[in-house]
A and B are shown apart, each in its own frame.
Chain A
Amino acid sequence: MKTINAQLAGCWSLSVLIVCLLTGLKSQAQTVLTVTGEVTKPLTLQTADLTAMAHTQVTGKDRDGKDHQYSGILVVDLLKQAGATVGGELRGENLTKYVIVKAIDGYEVLFALPELDAEFASRSIILADSVDGASLGPGVGPYRIVVPGEKKPARWIREVKSIEVRFAK
């Protein structure tokens, strides 16, 4: 009887493991961020794509008033990868372009392209995936915009799901 129970338990653990692996794989394959709009190569990114990109560390004050160390991808790097007009191309009419960042809950914030471009801005705006060495928590992550030095963190949009480049019309 004990043996059967043990076998059953074994089967159960194995199936749980398989289910976990499958759902794990499934969530790995899910799109977590899109970069679209006025770009030449729209991006559909998965967790692994973002993890593999170069990370930058910044310090920022969250709503708790305390400094935290954030790590993430420079938003301008995502824009470059998508073929948005940043760097040398950010002149003329391209200066009337802006970015809308959207969250899962529907919250939206806006950045003008020069705010994100290293040739214009002295601060580095990142799409953070960790804070003080840990993943971002529920309701905040998996990705959050961090704008170091901004006095009010209202544009530190949580649960980011898309970045869209638009022309002001």
Chain B
Amino acid sequence: MRFWIGSFIVAVVLSGVCAWTVADDPVPAGPYTLLYPASFGGRFTIPADNPMTQEGVYLGRLLFYEPKLSSTQTISCASCHQQARAFTDGLALSIGVHGKTTRRNSMSLTNLLWVRQLFWDGRSTSLEEQALVPLGHTDEMGSKPGEAAKALQKTIPYPVLFKQVFGSDTITDVRISKALAQFERTLISANSRYDQYAAGQYQLTESEQRGMQLFNRSPSPERNVRGGNCAHCHGGAKLFQELFHNNGLDKQATDSGRQAITGLALDQGRFRVPTLRNIALTAPYMHDGRFNSLEKVLDHYSEHIQPSPMLAPELAGQPNGFHLTTGEKTDLISFLRLFTDSTFIHNPQFANPH
């Protein structure tokens, strides 16, 4: 009992300190400069009505870690998008305010600046639009329209901060989503060992070297070339291509995926090709989190691809998979581990500010 009372006092004192910190820290101001490698390219759009500012990113970060956004005031964006896990939650399906699971696996929030169609099914074309979906979904944060804005309006620090960012202290869902989007655009991962290798600052081990060849090469039995052709969909400096594919998880997809958005029969069971950035940190894998390890993912692509008319043509050419040896799988996994960016998961700019 004494322990609990003690903890309670500590908690009260801490929350007081936090509130005080939020209100009194000098808020950075001015345009925000995005820093990224030239190889990532400039194919992105910042909405004209939501320019990046330091104060906007600051507010967005506070909101990202703010449980007051949820109907029960218990869940923040960071509940399902934890920095240590490259902004995923380690669960096959996430758990929302009512204890029910979400339909799909929590996606890693990495290099979203370049993503043009968000979610597993690509339904949202901007981060501003995207952020409102989990905010209002009954199985996620469960806030009714305007509910989260109202909760923040009652606080001391938030109206002041919204005034600094948007010129008015009126808090709205749209403004919440704008600030969140600004913060999310800063979540850039570009310092993995793979990036260091590309910049000539890291030497691959023999296993990583073999893994990279398998990753990049398309198999050609007639020329005796082994390969997993991973780079076809996951290649490039950013380790992602904006594509939607059916990767043969099931003969008959149980989740229609992108078809529900486009209405096209050919889109049945197609999902976003996810980034491989920090892939070793973002288990479990696939839209439904069915594989809990990279080994199981490779077993799928190696031996268990299910044929269907919607199966991606690059996979359809391989009967049931790429038939990798145990050694090849080990090499590929050692290469995939190079995509882990420890500076990204430890960047204090992305951490909980409360």
Q: A residues touching B (Cβ–Cβ < 8 Å)? A: 27, 30, 104-107, 138-140, 158-159, 161
Nearest chain A residue, comparing its CB with the CB of B233: A105
**28 A-B contacts, Cβ less than 8 Å apart?**
A27-B265, A30-B263, A30-B264, A104-B244, A104-B262, A104-B264, A104-B266, A104-B267, A105-B243, A105-B244, A105-B245, A105-B270, A106-B122, A106-B242, A106-B243, A106-B244, A107-B243, A138-B309, A138-B310, A138-B311, A138-B313, A139-B311, A139-B312, A139-B316, A140-B313, A158-B313, A159-B266, A161-B264
- B318 close to A (CB within 8 Å): no
Question: Cα distance A27–B242 when bound, in Å?
Answer: 27
Q: Which B residues from 215 to 266 make CB contacts under 8 A with A? A: 241-245, 262-266
Q: How large is the interface on B (under 10, 10 to 19, 20 to 34, 35 or more residues)?
A: 20 to 34
Question: Cα distance A139–B309 when bound, in Å?
Answer: 8
Question: Cα distance A4–B175 when bound, in Å?
Answer: 67
- B117 close to A (CB within 8 Å): yes
Nearest chain A residue, comparing its CB with the CB of B316: A139
Nearest chain B residue, comparing its CB with the CB of A103: B243
Nearest chain B residue, comparing its CB with the CB of A23: B265
Question: Cα distance A107–B312 when bound, in Å?
Answer: 12
Q: With A27-B265, A106-B122, A159-B266 as known contacts, state yes or no: A139 contacts B244, CB within 8 Å.
A: no
Complex interface: chain A residues within 8 A of B309 (CB) = 138
- Establish whether residues B117 and A106, one from each chain, have CB atoms under 8 Å apart when the complex forms: yes
Apart from A105-B243, A138-B309: 5 A-B pairs, beta carbons within 8 A: A104-B244, A105-B312, A139-B312, A140-B313, A159-B266
Nearest chain B residue, comparing its CB with the CB of A108: B242
Complex interface: chain B residues within 8 A of A138 (CB) = 309-311, 313, 316
Complex interface: chain B residues within 8 A of A27 (CB) = 265
How far, in Å, is A154 (CB) from chain B's closest CB? Answer: 11
Nearest chain B residue, comparing its CB with the CB of A161: B264
Question: Cα distance A106–B243 when bound, in Å?
Answer: 5
Question: Cα distance A138–B269 when bound, in Å?
Answer: 14
How far, in Å, is A118 (CB) from chain B's closest CB? Answer: 31
Interface string of B311-323 (1 = CB under 8 A from A): 1110010000000
Complex interface: chain B residues within 8 A of A104 (CB) = 244, 262, 264, 266-267
Question: Cα distance A104–B309 when bound, in Å?
Answer: 14
- Establish whether residues B267 and A139, one from each chain, have CB atoms under 8 Å apart when the complex forms: no
How far, in Å, is A120 (CB) from chain B's closest CB? Answer: 27
7 pairs of A and B residues whose beta carbons are closest in the complex: A139-B313, A138-B309, A106-B243, A106-B242, A106-B244, A105-B243, A105-B244
Complex interface: chain A residues within 8 A of B310 (CB) = 138
Nearest chain A residue, comparing its CB with the CB of B314: A139
How far, in Å, is A95 (CB) from chain B's closest CB? Answer: 23
Interface string of B75-103 (1 = CB under 8 A from A): 00000000000000000000000000000
| Best-buried of A30, A104, A105, A159 by chain B (most CB within 10 Å) | A105
Complex interface: chain A residues within 8 A of B117 (CB) = 106
Nearest chain A residue, comparing its CB with the CB of B315: A139
Complex interface: chain A residues within 8 A of B266 (CB) = 104, 159
Q: Which B residues from 289 to 318 make CB contacts under 8 A with A? A: 309-313, 316
Complex interface: chain B residues within 8 A of A159 (CB) = 266
Question: Cα distance A139–B267 when bound, in Å?
Answer: 11
Complex interface: chain B residues within 8 A of A105 (CB) = 243-245, 270, 312
| Best-buried of A30, A106, A158, A159 by chain B (most CB within 10 Å) | A106
Question: Cα distance A125–B265 when bound, in Å?
Answer: 27
